[in-house]
Amino acid sequence: MDSMVTARVPSELKEQVTKLLKQNDSSPTELVNSAFEFYLENQRLPKERKITPGVRKLPVAQRTQLFRALDAVVLTDADMHAKVSVAEVAALLRKDDYAALS
């Protein structure tokens, strides 16, 4: 069974969005369902995040998780059957790029 949702939306915004939804063969119901699904999946509102330039510091837990994930990434060289780290592959690619410049 479906539930009804009631929300206050500025009239002009509702008119503009309803018109666009109709142009895209969609409806306010589909929009609301999509918004609910987005929130359930992401646990945040679907607002565009404004990212300001600069250095950001990750919390220790996230930094540890990131480093563990990066350490686990290994590329296999099929010809030599040797494991090559991402850093080693990057160094090799840079070396090839620099060689091409000379």
Tell whether 90 is covered by a domain: yes
Predicted confidence at residue 79, as pLDDT, reads 44
User: What's the number of domains the chain is made of?
Assistant: 2
Give the C-alpha separation, 56 to 53, whole Å.
Answer: 9
Supply the pTM of this predicted model.
0.45
How would you label 68-82 residue by residue, b for 16+ Cβ within 10 Å and e otherwise? eeeeeeeeeeeeeee
In a domain, 74, yes or no: yes
Q: Are 16 and 31 in contact (CB under 8 A)?
A: no
Residue numbers of the domain that contains 88: 62-101
Question: Is 87 within the bounds of a domain?
Answer: yes
2 within a domain of the structure (yes/no): no
Whole-number average pLDDT of the chain: 82
Query: Looking at per-residue confidence, does 66 or 86 come out higher?
Result: 66
Q: Is residue 7 part of a domain?
A: no
